Structure 1
Amino acid sequence: MEHIEEVMRKFTLSANEKEGVCLGLEDLEKGVKECRLSLIGRVWGDRTANITGMRSFATNVWPQLKNVKITEIKVNMFQFIFESRKDIELVLSKRPWIYDGQPLVLLEWQADLEEKEQAFCRTLMWVQIWNLPLHWVTKEAGRKIGGIFAGVREVIIPQGGGKEGKHLKILAEVNLKEPLPRGSMVKSNGGTRWIEFKYEKCPDFCFCCGLIGHNERICNRKGVDVDRENQYGNWLRASFPRSPRKKGRNDGDQETSGNGRYRYQSSDGETGSLPYPLLTYTNEFHRGQGKPDIESNEKANWGTATRGAKEKSGMGCRRVRGLVRIW
């Protein structure tokens, strides 16, 4: 409606233009059918995503999904068209997705969704809740503590513990227009306790204002209140991102139940994550001469390689868009 009013103010329409045309359901049937098998994605951040990078991203993280068609709608917004409803459910079940350090917010298609910017201001994130007394480690407590977020989809009690104690995990709806909650004061039995939050697979965020989508170098609040700077930091990132969901060994799994995921960067700058470490190899391996020269151990977070490497050596390997998995 606002767009029509703007056109009317800007132009003096002819009689033919005012009369216009009328579209019936039969004219839209094919388009609606295709859109119902699609997701609309918005990259939330100050860096602009391009269609080439998004196609590479989809190939890397959804290798088991075939014939995914991607269309750029406008700046940082894309439509992903899938072959089946099952493919859509698979992608949605493995949120959150991170593109180039920025949240990729994916929503099921609805008419005019691409015009509703407000619909994309929330993203799902796994949040660890720490500094809990043992008797507070309950799903009921987790759901209530999670009330500080826009919503809570799931509460998990991880098995076992560690030197830092036990914790809860919640799948929270995080409002991208508000600073990341660092924790919460929780009252119980007349006492008050500070509960800490840590975020798994946390995208880039500003250490000055706490907002996801930009960093402190370009933050408009930097220098405004020096005493309130550095209120956020890397300590908000979970040190060992692990998903509570059981996953198979599909290359496109975004979450795993074991040692978490490993980030990678290819020789042409593509980034992403996989459920296994990537190890570097030398030109000798590229030419298929002997075993790779491993420059990092199994705990390495990054591995780089050249595109087009031959899949032959003394060790089993698998090439993934110019990267090598070794087992």
Structure 2
Amino acid sequence: MVANRTTMDPRCMEKPPLALDIILNLDIFGLILYSVLTFMAAVSMLIFLEECSYIYKKVPNNKKSVIIWVNGAAPVIGTMSCLGMWIPRATMFTDMTSACYFAIVVFKFLILMLEEVGGDEAFLKRAERYKLKISTGPCCCCCLCLPHVAITRRTLFLLKLGSFQFALLKIAFTILSIVLWTNGTFDLADLTISGSAIWINPFVGILTIIALWPVAIMFMHLRITLRTIKIIPKYAMYQLVLILSQLQTAIINILALNGTIACAPPFSAPARGFMMSQQLLILEMFIITLVTRLLYRREYDPLPEEQQEINENTKMATVSA
């Protein structure tokens, strides 16, 4: 251990480099890589802005806001990752911004599915003779013995509340983390029992799982009803953004903190892990932005009325009461 410490480049123990230091030390490959990724992030945001213009012109008023929020997940995360790539010392803040935005998207996707069937009243009218299957992921996919729940206003309120709490509390915990960071008591690399990160991050993870559960319940209930508007690939893109922006980033950062990802001066091992995560996200979010644009760029006609046990395209996908 002593020999390793004496031979380690001292720059591996320093803070992430400043933006100007990165620019001055870029070689030809690095310059091309940074330019291409920055171009991808810029194109993603331009596509999103163009999509916002289309939505405002073509989409009914009740759906404009939720569709814009959901469409913005990939380009916003890609843009924040681009800022984190160029300004490594701001990575914690760019990641927190992306996480807060996606926390709102989780709730908005639930609202989007309800609006696609005509809103709360139309959903309750369609679903009055069905029950909800709550034994779904990520909480209770193995609990097949759970009873089916009647669809009422109270049930719908609880589903909304389950997702809304994440949007609200994630922002609150982000603000708390920033306040603790300014006081020197919040550090993502500090995994000791006395560090605040080891308490805040797992609790936020629990809130995330709780918030994803109502969305999964609603999707399983409406996947057949909304099949004509491609709800399954839309849900897949939403899940993919979640996995890449949360799980993938967490895995890379843990590997970096454990030393599995080696130091590459002027980047320490954790800083290099953050950098790799940002660069991967820019590419991935660019591809998802293109796919999402194809899925949401359509004519927004109202769904046909559901016929009793006849129309398979509009029938609810749950157990009859």
TM-score, normalization by structure 1: 0.26
Structure number with greater CO (CA < 8 Å, separation at least 6) is: 2
Task: Name the structure with the higher helix share.
Answer: 2
Which structure dedicates a bigger proportion of its chain to strand?
1
Which protein is bigger by CA-based radius of gyration?
1
